[in-house]
Structure 1
Amino acid sequence: MGTTLKASLGTPHLWGIAVGLVISGEYFGWSYGWGVAGTLGFLITALLVATMYTCFIFSFTELTTAIPHAGGPFAYSRRAFGERGGLIAGLATLIEFVFAPPAIAMAIGAYLNVQFPGLDPKLAAVGAYIIFMGLNIVGVSIAATFELVVTILAVVELLVFMGVVAPGFSFSNFVLNGWAGSNEFSLGAISGIFAAIPFAIWFFLAIEGAAMAAEEAKDPQRTIPKAYISGILTLVLLALGVMIFAGGVGDWTVLSNINDPLPQAMKTVVGENSGWLHMLVWIGLFGLVASFHGIILGYSRQFFALARAGYLPAGLAKLNRFHTPHRAIIAGGLIGIAAIYSDGLINLQGMSLTAAMITMSVFGAIVMYIMSMLSLFRLRQTEPNLPRSFMAPGYPVIPAIALALALVCLVAMAWFNTTIGLIFLGFMAAGFVWFQFTAHHREAAAGDTLLTGGAA
């Protein structure tokens, strides 16, 4: 059916994808950061990471609008640094988007288990994969419309959560033992601030995935900046609001290592049998579903773009009659399901499966952010006449802030997560080995002027 994606998405769809990709991070995952940094330490971490993401998105939008390609960061880095640069960014992005869905799927299972205690969370997680892979296969317009609807519902639900728990909020609860389990700021608190970086990144992880829908966007030079800028502002406000309100309703330590912190926080205020609680569990699933569904769209486009360019087997670039990369969708799903059933088989630094998958995904994201910002600086030098409908504001300061903070995050991640970092390097090394033996695939791949710097 060819290898050309169909442009059918407008600004609301792209905003829905950008926010929807991320919004599950407001529902779960972030509270693991409290376990290592405390509420006050993690607040500092979250503010630093929010600064990084805001600077990053204002810079990244320049690349997305100038090079609207399904490969996103892979395309920008290949154009800036050649095939090996594209390989680094492409593999890192693929790791980010393939390892995030298992964590979200397990959270979906945990939320459903609240309502149905007899339901196996792993079985529910696999069921979620099957349903949403199917939805992505039947068409991007249908998938994006669904994403927009569930994202709006998820945003509304987070606002409802904050409103319902507000009467039970106490600042003294939030700050109690807020420095890594102590009331005193210390070296341990500083260590906790850096150790919590992966969980603060989870608040915003994957917003850049909307770039992978750029080939399917109508008038991307106009629609993408609107979607990205409104999206990051939405997410920063929601992240800070949810974290602060949840931390002030009672003993925050009981929320710090679970997959459903919001229902448990609300239970403290309204009681176990309140209709508000049941509404949060059911509607809260929309937040998880929005991200899960959106990241499936993201990983499939990354598989597709890498395969189309000859970096992965060409079969992954095939489109079905709905103009969607069905083989790429299925491939990522199989990896995710295998990850779900590896829970308990492998011990990664004593982490739960959810925390380990989040950390692995964040390693990929941070490497990709670094490559993207380096690509921005490189392309400003090598292609000053590249049509740029959106220019990074405050250049070069804003992109430099994003790059510097990303480098700090990578060093901290490697220091506190050595085992997972080595596994990440192993995946990257395997990709390089494949790359060395498959030059003929890239030679046989169809020409792509957006990758090589030809006429756009």
Structure 2
Amino acid sequence: GWWVYLAAYAIFIGIHLSGVGEALKVMFVITAIALVGLVVFAVAAIPHFDSTNLTDIAVTDAAGASALLPFGLLGIWAAIPFAIWFFLAIEGVPLAAEETAEPERNVPKGIIAGMAVLLVTCVTVLVLTTGAGGAAAMSESGNPLVEALGDSGWAKVVNYIGLAGLIASFFSIIYAYSRQLFALSRAGYLPTVLSVTNSRKAPTLALIVPGVIGFLLSLIGQGALLLNMAVFGAALRYVLMMVSHIVLRRREPDMPRPYRTPGGVVTTGFALVIAVLAVIATFLVDSVAALCCLVVFAAFMAYFGIYSRHHLVANSPDEEFAALAAAEGELK
């Protein structure tokens, strides 16, 4: 019921309002519990693993279809938005840069460690869930890890521990959206009231306002639509991040870079192609979600064009950097 959603938002936003240190300690504990749940699942699923289950989906007449790829080449493309969920929001790690000791060293370490953990758990869950429960059955499942284990006692254990995984995702997204809104507000791109912090240095309204919006959206009962909107927004964000990286490398080649992307713009260019394909793939999966997300983006762009670009905060870190870059350009 709605009171469960309300309680969840109130409790977790309340923890974030108590300060970043307290919030991240709780997040760490919840994430650790979720990882234990994945280990328990892996141990329980191995005895049920059958390699024939990996390819038990009937082959269609799609182009390039085979036992390994029953929906053909288009099926690979359409699966990208679902694959993104294994890694969604890892790019939120840099949002903690201002609250991190020695961010130039520790933020890259955090991202790399996070990617490594996600890669291992991604492969483990994908292979064992499909091998234990069957690709056809799991493709229709709303709770695949539990259903892959059948009616065993392990399934109940994984079901309850798995709640920690949902909570960890929810908790980390609250942190990410609040810091993103804080940064945009501080620079004047959004109303500056969103960057006002409380006595614990937490951005109060940047936490509460999106929480209220999220709670109201949860009442419409369109979970799949909201999830696909999140994937489309993430994929579009990846495109913008890759483009920004390439532009910065070309326009600011002498900028201090404590951490440099392996492969430089070549790596980023490859990631840009994948991100563009992911954006297009979202339309294949749920065109309504993609269009809804585009409407939201258009509304924010209109707000920027009509109002916020005339009210940017001149002394924000973002604008100071832009002003410094312009001054250096004039000197050259």
Aligned to 1:28: none
Aligned to 1:35: none
Say if 1:174 and 1:247, in contact at 8 Å, map to a contact too.
yes
- Helix, strand or coil: the match of 1:320? coil
Say if 2:189 and 2:309, in contact at 8 Å, map to a contact too.
no
Deviations 1:428-456 (A, max 9, x none): 1111221123147624x251234433569
- Helix, strand or coil: the match of 1:386? coil
- Give the alignment of 1:17-416 within 5 angstroms: 120=1, 122-177=2-57, 184=67, 188-266=71-149, 268=150, 271-272=151-152, 274=153, 276-343=154-221, 353-416=222-285
Q: Which runs of 5+ in 2 are unaligned?
A: 326-332
- Alpha-carbon distance in 1 for matches of 2:276, 2:249: 21
> Which residue identity does 2:172 align to in structure 1?
G
TM-score normalized by the length of structure 2: 0.89
- Alpha-carbon distance in 2 for matches of 1:209, 1:360: 17
Say if 1:310 and 1:442, in contact at 8 Å, map to a contact too.
yes
Cα 1:409–1:180 change in 2 (3 A) is farther
The alpha-carbon deviation at position 261 of structure 1 amounts to 1.6
Say if 1:198 and 1:358, in contact at 8 Å, map to a contact too.
no
- Alpha-carbon distance in 1 for matches of 2:281, 2:169: 26
- Alpha-carbon distance in 2 for matches of 1:290, 1:247: 24
| Number of positions where the alignment pairs a residue of Structure 1 with one of Structure 2 | 321
> Which residue identity does 1:218 align to in structure 2?
A
- Alpha-carbon distance in 2 for matches of 1:327, 1:282: 32
Say if 2:66 and 2:72, in contact at 8 Å, map to a contact too.
no
**Larger radius of gyration between Structure 1 and Structure 2:** 2
- Alpha-carbon distance in 2 for matches of 1:448, 1:387: 20
Q: Which runs of 5+ in 1 are unaligned?
A: 1-119, 344-352
The answer to which structure, 1 or 2, has the higher relative contact order (CA under 8 A, 6+ apart) is 1
The alpha-carbon deviation at position 281 of structure 1 amounts to 2.1
- Alpha-carbon distance in 2 for matches of 1:257, 1:125: 25
> Which residue identity does 1:211 align to in structure 2?
P
The alpha-carbon deviation at position 367 of structure 1 amounts to 1.3
- Alpha-carbon distance in 2 for matches of 1:288, 1:256: 20
Say if 1:318 and 1:326, in contact at 8 Å, map to a contact too.
yes
Deviations 1:115-135 (A, max 9, x none): xxxxx4x54333221211111
- Alpha-carbon distance in 2 for matches of 1:221, 1:205: 23
- More deviation in 234-243 or 404-413? 404-413
- More deviation in 230-239 or 428-437? 428-437
- Alpha-carbon distance in 1 for matches of 2:205, 2:50: 50
Cα 1:243–1:225 change in 2 (3 A) is same
Say if 1:318 and 1:325, in contact at 8 Å, map to a contact too.
yes
- Alpha-carbon distance in 1 for matches of 2:48, 2:288: 40
Aligned to 1:36: none
The alpha-carbon deviation at position 247 of structure 1 amounts to 0.8
- Alpha-carbon distance in 2 for matches of 1:178, 1:135: 48
- Alpha-carbon distance in 1 for matches of 2:122, 2:238: 20
Say if 1:202 and 1:358, in contact at 8 Å, map to a contact too.
no
> Which residue identity does 1:208 align to in structure 2?
E
Say if 2:77 and 2:277, in contact at 8 Å, map to a contact too.
no
- Helix, strand or coil: the match of 1:405? helix
- Alpha-carbon distance in 2 for matches of 1:178, 1:434: 49
- Helix, strand or coil: the match of 1:387? coil
> Which residue identity does 2:46 align to in structure 1?
A
Query: Please, which of 307, 317, 320 is the counterpart of residue 449 of structure 1?
Result: 317
Deviations 1:181-232 (A, max 9, x none): 9864679422222222211111111000111111111100110111111110
> Which residue identity does 2:305 align to in structure 1?
Q
- Alpha-carbon distance in 1 for matches of 2:168, 2:133: 29
- More deviation in 190-199 or 371-380? 190-199
Say if 2:12 and 2:171, in contact at 8 Å, map to a contact too.
yes
- Helix, strand or coil: the match of 1:392? coil
- Alpha-carbon distance in 1 for matches of 2:308, 2:13: 31
